[in-house]
Amino acid sequence: MQRFIRAVEVALDRRYVVLGQVLEPDALFGQAVGSIQGLLEPVFTQTIEVAIEAISSLVWLIFIIVVSFYFIKDGKPSASGWKTWHRRLTARTSSTCALKSA
């Protein structure tokens, strides 16, 4: 394994001439790493933003469920209460409609 690492280091330190062009693997490798970092940075940033939004939505959902539970628990309307309210509403609506038609 150490031999392989050393061989790679030696290969990156050399200059190569291809068709009259001088290639420096170290510089090419540095540019490639910079480009890959530039491409991956927005992906990771967006992934983190989506995760934060998902966690925020989950927290809001839990909050809404807890608050709804306590509202329902504290306000247990009885069936007779709803019937009385409905009768009053019906009576008011009927009398209002009767006045408008007269």
Q: How confident is the model at residue 99 (pLDDT cuts 50, 70, 90)?
A: low
Ranges of each domain in the chain: 2-101
The DSSP symbol for 14 reads: S
Cα separation, 35 vs 4, in Å, equals 26
Tens of pLDDT along 21-43? 777 777 777 788 888 888 888 88
pLDDT at 98: 56
Indicate if the pLDDT at residue 66 is higher than 60. yes
Residue 54's Cα: distance from chain center in Å? 4
